[in-house]
Amino acid sequence: MVAKPQPLRPVTLITGASSGIGEALAHCFAEAGHDLVLVARSREKLRVLAEALSGAHGVTAMVQVADLSKPDAAKTLEQALRRKRLGVNVLVNNAGVLAQGGFVTLPAATQQAMLDLNIGGLTAMLAAFLPGMVARAAAGAPGRVLNVASIAAFQPVPSLATYAASKAYVLSLSESLAEELKDSGVTVTALCPGITATPMLDAAKDANARVGRIPQFLIGDVHDVARQGFDACLRGETICVPGVVNRAAMIASRSTPKWLLRRLGGIFGRKAIEDSAEK
């Protein structure tokens, strides 16, 4: 009796996979039986994660070290996977960086680093991988894209001006591509989490004591955020905002006059900058 060939597992590429939401998403996709391409700058963290996921779920987890803020990093990554004849079915753009403080006090290099990774790196990943995903979808292998934005994408956030603007770009691009690719077999989802318990939050607390006073009920669990993003991605939803409070804030921000959003953001933002300066 001839054994039937086993179906190929879908391949999910996750950037910023070494910690936080990216790591939690890696667990979600591995549990669902996806082989993984784990991308970040830390080889050792990725190696440990890859071994854990392979051992727990029997999937293949490949480590690819890359700094996606660098020019041609995304293109180099795509070429490396193409040489391995590895097609990506799900692309998760999670890599990002945050810096808090007044715009005029943050170094220009810090501002540029946010733009290079949050905008430049994400856009380059889409440009490198979407054409192949669309081609495979036309051949019968649908694709999914999950871009990690932020609740900050919905309103101006003084003291996080550049970060919020970069995430607004991610949200706008995701919504545009979701419509542009509507009949292509590839869906695009923007995950817009609120404040989430990750190493990024820990760094923000170190920079500003006010962050440490945020009520616990406003801080999302990273595994719950990842699970909701994972589910929304596989369902092909365009926008996912985890948490009842965050969804209410998103709806309010889209219905509130812009001048009022700016005024309210300015009040809280100036206080945050003052607290950061006093630290």
Q: Looking at per-residue confidence, does 59 or 3 come out higher?
A: 59
In this structure, is residue 2 part of a structural domain?
no
- How many domains are there within the chain? 1
In this structure, is residue 3 part of a structural domain?
no
pLDDT at site 251: 54
Active-site pick, 16, 163, 192, 211: 163
Sole residue written with tokens 């999950």:
146
Show the domain range for 220. Answer: 11-278
pLDDT tens-place string over residues 62-112: 999 999 999 999 999 999 999 999 999 999 999 999 998 999 999 999 999
Quick: pLDDT tens for 206-256: 454 444 444 454 566 899 999 999 999 999 999 999 876 565 555 555 554
- Contact present, 68 and 74 (Cβ < 8 Å): yes
Q: What is the pLDDT averaged over residues 25-44?
A: 98
* Digit-coded pLDDT (tens) for 140-197: 999 999 999 998 898 888 888 999 999 999 999 999 999 999 999 999 999 999 876 5
Three-state SS at 68: coil
Q: Is residue 147 part of a domain?
A: yes
Domain assignment present for residue 65? The answer is: yes
Is 168 domain-assigned?
yes
Q: Is the pLDDT of residue 257 over 60?
A: no
In a domain, 4, yes or no: no
Examine the pLDDT at 279 and tell me if it is beyond 70. Answer: no
Q: Is 163 a catalytic residue?
A: yes
Mean pLDDT of the chain: 84
